[in-house]
């Protein structure tokens, strides 16, 4: 009986210590690093952005190191950097409650509506530490006119890497680097887009 | 095999949770920025934020044996100053030479992840607005947040670490919703 109890205790302890833990990380990059070159003019348009209902609360789980998983909220974590990136690209950016937020569309004279789509992947080369050493953020911007017609769709992939010596005080480092890379690439792509300037 | 697994687990726990960690950098809230932009406030500069008393935990916050430090000069009162700066900058209202200044005193500052399933964040600060050196506003704001935590340290410590910017954002949001504060920032 004692042997059975010991095995049960060991099993429960192992399950608690080893199994099923998704370690939380954050994707938010340092927005001070998302700047526009003074040589490039912003697009002179008022845009409104919205997050599809429920996406801010969407929790994603993906691979970390040592067989462990990491979890995060991609839309919530990236919203401020997304707003900052758009503010660098367009002359005015406003938050809309939804695609049909006509009150805000009128108030801010919105001409373009944009919504982000985000997907991620992660992995680690480490067997002994859980933070991911490689992270990728695929960011898609879908642009609509105020009648809901899609007028442009832009996609970038941001990549980030971090090794143990770097991430030991910031477990989210590879993810935050990937997010920053995605925002910078998207900013460059949007500023170069002639169809958004027309 | 199980003993090896446990040894590896303890090693991982020791490596990840026994060291010094840094609080995530602050990330301003879009709703705050839009609210400030729309409220027609003047441009503002951010003055000094200093700690007062041991409850301010200005240098480190203890999270189950890990020491969390601030990414802004190792000072959590600097963290609060940086938060206000970022909010004003995102709203386009930050200007170094402005004649209206926001400063503050950090009074309480803690993240408690000792609970088995719930963590608690608590922060309190006095905020002061001066225009050309003359006081326009002074008030103490205090907030408490609760967040999901865990028995497992390797989950609870990062959860507590990630809660810090949310705690500060909640405090700053409370300040920005005070109509007297907003009035003091107008010309």
Tell me which residues of chain B have a pLDDT lower than 70.
Answer: 1-19
**Cβ contact (<8 Å) for A28 and B27?**
yes
At A164 the pLDDT is: 82
Is there a contact between A120 and A25 (Cβ–Cβ < 8 Å)? no
Average pLDDT, chain A: 89
CA distance A105 to A116: 18
Nearest to B9 among A17, A28, A32 (CB): A17
State the pLDDT confidence band at A87, using cuts at 50, 70 and 90.
very high
At B4 the pLDDT is: 52
From the CA of B91, how many Å to the nearest CA of chain A?
10
Is there a contact between A61 and A108 (Cβ–Cβ < 8 Å)? no
CA distance B108 to B60: 12
Contact status of B116 with chain A (Cβ, < 8 Å)? no
CA distance B171 to B49: 14
At A127 the pLDDT is: 86
DSSP state of A127: S
At B57 the pLDDT is: 95
**Cβ contact (<8 Å) for A18 and B9?**
yes
ipTM for this prediction: 0.78
Is there a contact between A79 and B27 (Cβ–Cβ < 8 Å)? no
SS3 B39: coil
With a cut of 60, say whether residue A7 has pLDDT above it.
Answer: no
CA distance B60 to A59: 29
Give the residue from B162, B167, B172, B173 with the most A CB atoms within 10 Å of its CB, the best one to mutate. B162
From the CA of A129, how many Å to the nearest CA of chain B?
6
**Cβ contact (<8 Å) for A128 and B15?**
yes
At A152 the pLDDT is: 96
Please give the average per-residue pLDDT across A25-39, as a whole number: 92
**Cβ contact (<8 Å) for A18 and B31?**
no
**Cβ contact (<8 Å) for B30 and A130?**
no
Please give the average per-residue pLDDT across A119-129, as a whole number: 92
**What CATH number should be reported for the domain whose range is B19-184?**
3.40.50.10610
Question: Who has greater pLDDT, B8 or A53?
Answer: A53
3-state secondary structure B87-109: HHHHCCCECCCCCEEEEEEEEEE
Give the residue from B29, B30, B35, B67 with the most A CB atoms within 10 Å of its CB, the best one to mutate. B30
With a cut of 50, say whether residue A1 has pLDDT above it.
Answer: no
Q: Within a 10 A sphere around the Cβ of B48, how many other Cβ atoms?
A: 12
With a cut of 80, say whether residue A3 has pLDDT above it.
Answer: no
Residues of A with CB below 8 A from B28's CB?
A: 31, 80
Contact status of B2 with chain A (Cβ, < 8 Å)? yes
From the CA of B11, how many Å to the nearest CA of chain A?
8
CA distance A39 to A25: 36
Tokens 């340290």, residue located: B153
Stated pTM of the model: 0.81
H/E stretch holding B48: strand B45-51
From the CA of A172, how many Å to the nearest CA of chain B?
9
At A14 the pLDDT is: 43
Q: Closest by alpha carbon to A116, among A163, A157, A168, A79?
A: A79
At A178 the pLDDT is: 98
Calculate Rg over the CA atoms of chain A. Answer: 21
Contact status of B62 with chain A (Cβ, < 8 Å)? no
Q: Please identify among residues 74-93 of chain B the ones whose CB lies closer than 8 Å to any CB of chain A.
A: 86, 90
């Amino acid at each position: 009986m004692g042997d059975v109890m010991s095995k049960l205790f060991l099993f429960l302890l192992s399950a608690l210590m080893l199994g099923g833990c998704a370690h939380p990380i954050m994707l938010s990059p340092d927005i001070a690093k998302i700047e526009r070159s003074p040589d490039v003019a912003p697009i002179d348009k008022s845009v409104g952005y919205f997050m599809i209902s429920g996406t801010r609360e969407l929790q994603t789980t993906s691979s970390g190191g040592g067989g462990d998983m990491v979890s995060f909220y991609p839309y919530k974590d990236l919203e401020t950097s997304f707003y900052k990136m758009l503010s660098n690209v367009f002359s005015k950016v406003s938050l809309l409650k939804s695609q049909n937020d006509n009150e805000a569309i009128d108030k801010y004279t919105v001409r373009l509506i944009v919504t982000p789509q985000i997907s991620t992947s992660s992995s680690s080369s480490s067997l002994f530490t859980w933070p991911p050493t490689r992270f990728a953020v695929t960011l898609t911007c879908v642009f609509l006119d105020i009648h809901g017609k899609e007028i442009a769709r832009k996609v970038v992939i941001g990549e980030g890497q971090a090794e143990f010596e770097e991430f030991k005080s910031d477990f989210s480092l590879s993810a935050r680097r990937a997010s920053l890379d995605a925002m910078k690439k998207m900013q460059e792509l949007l500023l170069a887009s002639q169809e958004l300037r027309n | 095999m199980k003993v090896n697994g446990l040894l590896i687990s303890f090693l991982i726990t020791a490596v990840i949770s026994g060291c010094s960690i840094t609080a995530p950098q602050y990330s301003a809230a879009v709703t705050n920025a839009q609210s400030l932009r729309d409220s027609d406030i003047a441009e503002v500069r951010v003055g000094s934020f200093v700690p007062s008393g041991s409850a301010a935990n200005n240098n480190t916050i203890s999270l189950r044996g890990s020491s969390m430090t601030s990414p802004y000069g190792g000072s959590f009162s600097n963290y609060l100053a940086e938060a206000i700066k970022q909010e004003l900058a995102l709203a386009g209202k930050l200007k170094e030479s402005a004649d209206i200044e926001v400063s503050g005193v950090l009074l309480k500052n803690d993240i408690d992840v000792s609970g088995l399933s719930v963590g608690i964040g608590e922060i309190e600060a006095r905020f002061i607005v001066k225009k050309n050196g003359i006081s326009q506003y002074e008030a103490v704001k205090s907030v408490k947040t609760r967040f999901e935590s865990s028995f497992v340290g390797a989950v609870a410590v990062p959860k507590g670490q990630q809660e810090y910017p949310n705690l500060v954002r909640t405090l700053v949001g409370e300040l920005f919703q005070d109509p007297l504060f907003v009035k003091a920032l107008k010309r």
